[in-house]
Amino acid sequence: MRKSQNFALPSITSTYAGEFAGRYISAALLSAKTLENDSVTIVPNVKYKEVIQTVDVSGITQDASCDFTTSGSVSLDERVIEPKELQVNLELCKQNFVDSWEALSLGFSAHDEIPATFTDYLISYAGGKIAEKTEQDILGGVRANNGEFRGFLPAMSASAATGGATDVVQGTDSTGSIDSTNVIAALNNLYDSIPDTVFGKDDLVIYVPTNVAKAYQKVLGTDFANGYLNMATVGEKPMNFNGIDLLHCPGMTASYMVASRKSNLFFGTGLLSDYNEVKLLDMADLDGSQNFRIIFRYTADAQYGIGQDIAIHIPA
């Protein structure tokens, strides 16, 4: 005999404020792949601004003597993390989501963690959308654009264009769109452009977008040295180039690549600050509809530290 269970549409008007709301927003932001994999340094609880001090010293050693004699030079610089305030305002029909939540609650889900309440389910859904947008903006966001915060690539590209001694180093090749025919040449050029000061550091990696990751997998599997270990179609090939790990960043602009230490890239947010707030408003009691509204507020910013320790490939 088949048993059925019916759920009434739940009332979901609720507010989460302060630290508790921060947990939801934190989970949403940190679900972005670039952040989830600890690919950059996360700086939480930035209320307004946080200054990253950079220090460059040179010529500090000298012959010994009985006197204290200063030597060399010390150059101080700073980069500022200034998270931008952002918000999410969604209006959705809860009837479209309640069936999925019922299935999860009845235990037919393959997910390890089932949202205990309809409210948590909706926040999880909205959080996934925030994570998707965060992943895109952390690499390519433009602060002046509505709904975006500063991303690494626009800032690095502007610095590389300046071309000064303290600016980001740009590769010299003229590769356009990267595919399996030129990905090795493009990676070699970026590899050669990596500053000697950071080469060999434990946290040095190369950040690549989806099209570069796919091209590299393809060339290792079929087009390069008869395929990796002669296994052209079997398994994932190592995401590593000449000893440097390649990190796939889904939100990264196609055909760009960046070589940097993880500790030199920063993501700042006030995700645990007390002004964070998450609201779910059930509109049934207000206008008789089955709509609900989700309101998120959070802050985010991306910033690099020492420009001359970064190499970037900008497609021609």
Query: Mind listing the pLDDT tens digit for each residue in 240-270?
Result: 999 999 999 988 999 999 999 999 999 999 8
Domain edges within the chain: 14-57+74-304
Burial class of residue 126 in the structure, from the number of CB atoms within 10 Å of its CB (0-12 exposed, 13-18 middle, 19+ buried): buried
Q: What percent of the chain clears pLDDT 90, i.e. is strictly above it?
A: 37
Query: Does the pLDDT value for residue 63 go beyond 70?
Result: yes
Please name the residues in contact with 31: beta carbons below 8 A apart, sequence gap of 6 or more: 127, 128, 131
d(CA 275, CA 288) in angstroms, rounded, equals 31
The 10s digit of each residue's pLDDT in 149-184 is 999 999 999 999 998 878 899 987 767 899 988 999
pLDDT of 46 strictly over 50: yes
Q: Could you count the other beta carbons within 10 Å of the beta carbon of residue 286?
A: 11
Tokens 């890239």 belong to which residue? 265
pLDDT of 238 higher than 70: yes
Cβ(41)–Cβ(266) under 8 Å?
A: yes
Structure tokens of 88? 């999410």
Q: How far apart are CA 301 and CA 283, in angstroms?
A: 33
Residue 241 CB contacts under 8 Å (≥ 6 apart), including other chains: 187, 191, 206, 216
DSSP structural state of residue 168: P
* Contact between residue 310 and residue 304 where contact means Cβ atoms under 8 Å apart: yes
Query: Who contacts 246 (Cβ-Cβ below 8 Å, separation ≥6)?
Result: 205, 206, 207, 208, 212, 213, 216, 239, 240
CA distance 22 to 17: 8
Sorted by sequence, the CB contacts under 8 Å of residue 85 that are 6+ apart come out as 297, 298, 299
Average pLDDT for residues 49-78, to the nearest whole number?
A: 67
**Contact at 8 Å (CB) between 44 and 271?**
yes
Res 213 pLDDT > 90: yes
Mode of pairing for the β-strands spanning 311-313 and 169-170: parallel
Report the alpha-carbon distance of residue 229 to residue 80 in Å, rounded. 46
CB burial of 132-147 (b: ≥16 within 10 Å; e: otherwise) equals bbbbbbbbbbeeeeee
CA distances from 100 to 11, 113, 284 (A): 17, 14, 20
pLDDT at 236: 67
The CA distances from residue 2 to 5, 108, 138, in Å, are 10, 15, 49
pLDDT value of position 208: 96
Q: Which residues neighbour 115 within 8 Å (Cβ) at sequence distance 6 or greater?
A: 101, 104, 121, 124
Long-range contacts of 195-204 (CB under 8 A, 24+ apart): 195/169, 195/308, 195/309, 195/310, 195/311, 197/308, 197/309, 198/260, 198/261, 198/264, 198/309, 201/261, 203/261, 203/262, 203/263, 204/244, 204/259, 204/260, 204/261
pLDDT band per the 50, 70, 90 thresholds, residue 107 = low
**pLDDT of res. 85:** 92
Lowest model confidence (mean pLDDT) among 7-11, 59-63, 308-312: 7-11
311-313 and 257-261 beta bridge pairing = antiparallel
134: amino acid identity, one letter:
T
Q: Give residue-wise pLDDT tens across range 25-44.
A: 888 887 888 888 889 999 88
